[in-house]
Amino acid sequence: MTAPLRPRPERLRPSVPAVLALGSNLGDREATIHEAVADLAAEDGIRVQQVSPLVETPALKLSGIDYQAPAYLNAVVVVDTVLGPHDLLDVVNVVEQRHGRVREERWGDRTLDIDIVDYAGRVLDDERLTLPHPHAWERGFVLAPWLAIQPDAELPGHGRIDLLLAATSDEIRPYPDSGAAHDAAPGVQLEADKNGGGV
């Protein structure tokens, strides 16, 4: 007879890939996203593997695109994590709060939003978490930065992200709109670089 298994300590769990989408349309948007990526990289159980360039996108509200609202900066980060999906959500919520996130209006203006777009290809829907993120498949501001770092990526249940992006009509501008895109994580040493480059 075998003894019942104890839950594995976090550090012994295999790490899995996850895709996070960051957005900010209030305050110093660029600094907030840089700091949030650094915060994620500093968390136990999360290794930041890839960070997209920043893109600038008009605010999507529940009523549609709102050109009167401040525009968003958006970025996508690929991580490896030993955290379960709900623990990862707890961490991203703490990082949002650290950067002054207040929840007043759904899809309202915010200093920082971090969504879990994909967690190891898992499909899940409970009272706290829906995976993949229910709107990622139709959002250019998620798909475009993600495609820039993972051109062959697929979204579970929806297919290749290059095809999904081609089907959107969202306005996505590189940021700043002057040629060279800004990396969303200057100064953050990526795990892949630490291991000798080549993400």
Q: Which neighbouring-strand residues pair with 51?
A: 77
CB of 139 to ligand A4P, least distance (A): 7
Q: Indicate the residue among 45 and 192 with the shorter CB distance to ligand A4P.
A: 45
Q: Which residues contact Mg ion (rule: CB under 5 A)?
A: 113, 115
Of 171, 155, 89, 149, residue with least CA distance to 122:
155
| 137 interacts with, out of ligand A4P, Mg ion, none, CB within 5 to 8 A per kind | none
CB of 174 to ligand A4P, least distance (A): 14
Q: Give catalytic status of residue 110 as yes or no.
A: yes
Q: Which residue is nearest to ligand A4P (CB)?
A: 23
137 binds ligand A4P (CB under 6 A): no
C-alpha 23/C-alpha 3 separation (Å) is 46
- Here the contacts of 10-13 (C-beta below 8 Å, separation 24 or greater) are 10/44, 10/45, 10/82, 10/83, 11/45, 11/82, 13/82
Structure token pair of residue 98: 């650290």
129 binds ligand A4P (CB under 6 A): yes
Which among 39, 113, 118, 139 is annotated as catalytic?
113
Q: Is 33 helix (H, G, I), strand (E, B) or coil?
A: helix
Q: Give catalytic status of residue 115 as yes or no.
A: yes
145 binds ligand A4P (CB under 6 A): no
Q: What are residue 126's phi and psi, to 5 degrees?
A: -130, -170
Note the residues at the interface with ligand A4P (CB under 6 A): 23, 57-60, 72, 74, 89, 103, 106-107, 113, 115-116, 128-131, 133, 135, 141
